[in-house]
Chains A and B, each alone.
Chain A
Amino acid sequence: MQPTDVGNPDYYHKVVDCQWGCPAHTNVPEYIRLIANGRYTDSFWLNRSSNVFPGILGRTCDRPCEPACRRTRVDGKPVAICRLKRVAADLRDPTDNRLPEIPVVKNGKRIALVGCGPASLTVCNDLMPLGYECTIFEALPRSGGLMRTNIPAFRLPVEVLEEEIDMILDMGVEIHYNTRIESMKELLEEGYDAVFVGTGAPKGKELNISGRQEAADNIHIGIEWLESVHFGHVDSIGERVLVIGVGNTAMDCCRSSKRLGGIDIKVMARKSRPYFKASPWELEDAEEELVEIVENYSPKRFVLEDGRLVGMEFELVSWHEDEESGRLKATVHGTEFIPCDDVILAIGQDNAFPWIERDIGIEFNHWDMPEVDRTTFMTTREGIFVGGDAAWGPENIIWAVEHGHQAAISIHNYCQGLSLTEDRPPQDHNLISAKMGMHEWAYSNDYNPSPRQKMKHVELVRRFQELSIEVEMGFDPEQTAREVERCLNCDIQTHFEAKLCIECDACIDICPVHCLTIAVNGDEEDLRERLMAPAENLTQDLMVSEGLPQTGRVMVKDEDLCVHCGLCAERCPTAAWDMRKFELMIPYAGQEAACPTHV
């Protein structure tokens, strides 16, 4: 293999699995260390520099970081990254304001943003400090988009939501509530320098089977129903509720039903558990509230008596993989009637752009979605950008935030006459030794065997008495202290200088997880089998050194299970190994890549 180029920011970045997995590349290990040191406020602001909504995401994030977490591969459970973020947001000093100053004299560029969800808000967050005048048009009477209307208050308290949104709106964003944009053409005529579309995926999918029209009064579209609940238009539901679909929206629907008078709540899934779209923890939380989750029931028709919904008929199905196509195929074993008073449909969301004229230079593809460039977020008409769920369909908040950051870079470049591609500032990185003394490091290098801390929940009875009480209580100080020590500090990199190595084997002998080997070089497939422990996880890289001075062999490190204990560096007599803190430098609109911790 060729020697690994650790000068490329991507190499060490990829070792920090959580940061690599996070769309916004939040510096997770650093913010966890700040929490460990009691520096909650610093931790909050470090979070905010990349993910903008630490308090909201600390409760609601889809957590792509956690399945990626190295700790999962070491002891089976990831670090509770998401809930530690909430600790930082909850315990920060609210008077410590590190928001950038907003220029009084504007730069003369006006940006229109359609929809006030996380994507638009992030664009404003990045552009307001540069002197842009941002105007948001929101169809609803409140800000936040789906973060507000689709996430029930028992998961995300309104105060938390509003505090973080207001940080952005208070930068001087002009916002027009109750203003649904009906025509892109008309909007463009108002002469904005750029337009950002952050309208989300606001249309719940329909289930057009027999009885749908006749029983319409008792059949609700999930996201619309949640919105009505949020605004108080709906305050009750029947005792027996069937929720169709098993994604995260279905979980919010069934749990909300429980709080509005529902007693017997069933979530009806067409497939079995491994295929559920809902996050495992959301399923757990729903089942804790005694919601029944029924597998392999496929909706057949709505059943009415005297013009009123009395239940639904389902086909009982089993699934097998089709040998030719590899797709799942259903076999029907019969039907079953399940009585109910109400049905909530939570089977997905679609985008809808009836308000964008098709003759103004924005190309639409065969799914009737605008063509959006994956890097620049610009449509085929210059100056019109799309981000968040509106771009490529439903994702989650953290993706919307990252879309917002990237779109803001593009909008800035566009307005300043720079290229959207060539003038995009690249990522960079910084590497600093963590060595403090003979055997002292600037991080807690000992492995802590604590199991993942379990989130405490408000007791069931109270949950259904105080409808908007937040169910998760957050980690207490003891839990926090234990959980932060579970982090393996993957950003503290094992950095190797081949020319210093005397091949004494000390690092290889001490490594607790056998990830180091000195071997005669070979191609990757061959090397992976000749290591101290076979490197079977192909998603994890091998770091290969230059030829070593004494024998010409190479040092190989399998990144897979390294617990970053630093013992290789402690046992190295020549400091060929060193533990170095890697900091990813991320560029934002109008800014070169920089280390947020130094801001």
Chain B
Amino acid sequence: MADNVEAIQKSIKWYFIIGALLILFSGLTVGLSYVELPTHSLNIIVGMILATIKAALVALIFMHLSHERPLIYKVLAFTVVFVLALFLLFVFSHGDPLEFEGMYLHNE
């Protein structure tokens, strides 16, 4: 852990650099959201990638996850798995529930 005096003094510079980077990425997200990509889904994907990078910076540097004890990683591993499961739940609602294999209820 960066708990000794020198390590903390060194990391102070980084806190400001990361802060500036985060603001830069936010500006970039705003700018790119006005660019009309071929589909809007691409806009969403680009925006979410940028947001994930920002979130990673906050978690790794500000929240010191870049050098944390194994126990915390174990706790968070569960969280990541379950939260991803939550995000993917919508897949089950995406298909037409009235449409079964070999049987189409609508005319084609």
A, B bound: no
